[in-house]
Structure 1
Amino acid sequence: MPVQRSRVGNPDAPAQYNQPGRKGKKAWRKNVDVSQVVEGLDELNKQIIKGGVIAEKKSSELFTLDVVGDSALPKKFSKHVKKGLKCDEIIAQRSAVPVVPMRKRAGDKTTDGVLPVKRQRTQYITHKELTRLKKVADGHHDSTVAVVDATYDVWAEPMPTEEEVEKFNFLPEAKPLKAPDTLRQQPISLAANGKAIPAVPKPKGGHSYNPDFTDYQDRLIEESEKAVEAERKRLEAIEEERIREEARAKSAAEADAAEARAEMSEWEDDSAWEGLESGGEELTTKAKRAQRKTQAQRNKIKRRKEEERKAKHEAAMKKKAAQVEQIKQLAAEVEEKERQRALEKTEMSDGSEDDGNDFEIRRRQLGKYKLPEKDLELVLPDELQDSLRLLKPEGSLLKDRYRNMLIQGKIESRRHIPFHKEAKTTITEKWSYKDFSMD
């Protein structure tokens, strides 16, 4: 049923929604904008008046299907009247050349460009296939199919490509190990003549378990002289070190005494400027009466004392400078002696050392550590035996081989480290909660 409206007055509702409310903020009666609701109701009334609400009707009531067509269309366009193109009309009116006909004409040499398809002959067998069939008939098979388990996993994840691996790889590429250039070079032996040293040197006659008397005596005398000379040099070095320490202590004591004398107070010594040591006192028999000194006399005495103090200080400084020069001279002399001694040791070790193998050592030190000394392969006369069964095993083949490799220049001398350093660990105990005992 349509909504009835009053014919008297303004049909629209009072538009007071823009006015502020006269009630309080918490009042529920407020001016609300209902214009959209009113427009919707008006549209609904119009649809009801015209025949019903469109949204509630079915599609068959709103639309119809035309199956006949427009009857006026055939009358408007005749079947025999065909309208041409505008360009054809313009050319026909203005051009003297006739229009190119659109009709196609068949030519003798004109083709459609499509080549005929060659049909494959299936009525015969090739010679190669015939040969293969004969071999199969005779029992000769070219290849047999081996049954292999499937290697493809349907549920496996796809392997990343090489480009993806390089894209997400942030680590540097591992470089191949490169051998040093010195590995291809020949080792430099420590022999003075530069010749190659044999791995197992040939011993002399004095090294035999039952040597000749002359060879043994010569070797014993030679080794004894070497031992005596080494002991004499050791004692000389100890004595020189003791003398050097005494000289250093004496120089230090003299320097301390000079400093003490320089710092001595000027009031401890008697002043020679006040007339105490003058010779005029013997001539006068009458003692001088003590009088009060004037300011000029006090200033004069003060200047004399200052000059005396400066003179003492300069004398002490001169003496100290002389001692410093003397200490420097002594240190230079000691350094020169040490250098001469080191040079003598180097000359003796470089040129005169005989390793018992008919060659001389070029130098003693190789690398950071010194070349180890060779064991003395000599027994006393009372220790000589006349039978191999009575000999005692001595020496070490490993030690001899190691020293021989050092002399050959194949390896450098190393210091033996019996125990490696262990990492320092600190044990700490951390609590995640506190333990309480409730008594």
Structure 2
Amino acid sequence: MAPTKTSKVSSASKSSIQKHPASGIGAPSQLAQSSRKGKKAWRKNIDIHPVEQGLESLRSEERVIGSTLQKQTNDQLFVVDTKGDDKVRKSLPRYSKAELTATKILSQRSAIPAVFSRPTKDSVPSRSKVSRADKERLLRIAKRPRKGPFNAVMDHTEFGAGSALIDVSAAVKHSGSYDPWTAEKIEEVADGLEHTKKPNIKRPELSHPRDVIDVPAVLEPHQGSSYNPPAAAHDELIMEACKVERRRQEEADRLAEIRRKVADARALVADETEGLPLGMTLDEIPADDGEPVTQEDAVVPKKASVRKTKQQRAKALRLREEKQALAEKAARKKMLATIPLAKSLRSTAEKIGQRQNEARLARQLALKMKLRKGLAGQRLGKYKVPENDIEVQIGEDLSENLRTLKPEGNLFRDRFRSMQQRALIEPRVPVLPTKRAKLKEFEKHAWKRFE
């Protein structure tokens, strides 16, 4: 009998679990569940029947009116009738039991236009015609034969005639038309929702060095760099080149001296730590290690701290308060003494401020005058702006005529340095690759066999 009772209980529990009927619009609904232990079962078995009813009511309003009642204004929903109309009853449809339900549905005209099976002129917009340029571009991409003048077929492999990569992209066509500092026009949509507006960014007014620099793109060469220069101009240019070379040599000697000192220090440290592990140093043994300890060198033991009594602590507190009061009295006396000197102190402060302002303006003027000559020799960022090389020949190398003249310098390097000195491009140095691909040598199989 035990199995029979169990089967009755299980059948009764199954009969008590009844599934919710399907919704009115045909969507399945599964609300019955055997357990609520997990959140997954909660999400799966949720009754959305009221939500579906509300959405269906909104759809019915859109079908009849054209939009929901919430979006209609008061003038569209309500009318104050002060006159009345006797023909309203005649215009209302008559109730008839014999009228079919389909007829009632068809009699209710919807505000939403009907969907036609075939496209009409009003429903489908006219197709935009493909321009000649777009048609040629598509033919080039598809590599279709295109006819040119005299009905001749053009070769799509010809340079500029068939390659799709010849055309510029849309980004290149519209380049330069976007200005990030112009205020964008934001169109407000009257849908009752809140829209975030982008803040108008104010263009920063910052001075640029190139606005101050007054250096021509091509500098006029010195008179002494000519193939047949005057003696005075040639000697002057040689002295300038000598000064520059001497300065470079002094800088190279200074760096070499610094490297030599660093190498000597490293060698000294290596000699001291020879035979010891890396990072370990050996302490020096004092000279008087074996001598006996005298009475003077003996360590004097410290006195044990004695706890102060209540009277001693009160006395110390009273002395500290007296010192603080005397200090405040002296500060107050000093402040009162400076009151009559307020006018003189104010005039002194104004003079110091005026002097500092004049010094600041003088520094700015000197910097501006220095910038007018360009950025040659100044550090801008990580690197230093290079200076122009002095191109001069000694008297033995000077040519007597233009036929035997040897060209010097590099026009590309001159233009590149000129743009750096005029703050058109940032200073850079050539970066060479540190790691190079190693060449692997091997002997071909044909050369391994010797007969």
Mark the structure with the bigger radius of gyration.
1
* TM-score, structure 1 normalization: 0.30
* TM-score, structure 2 normalization: 0.30
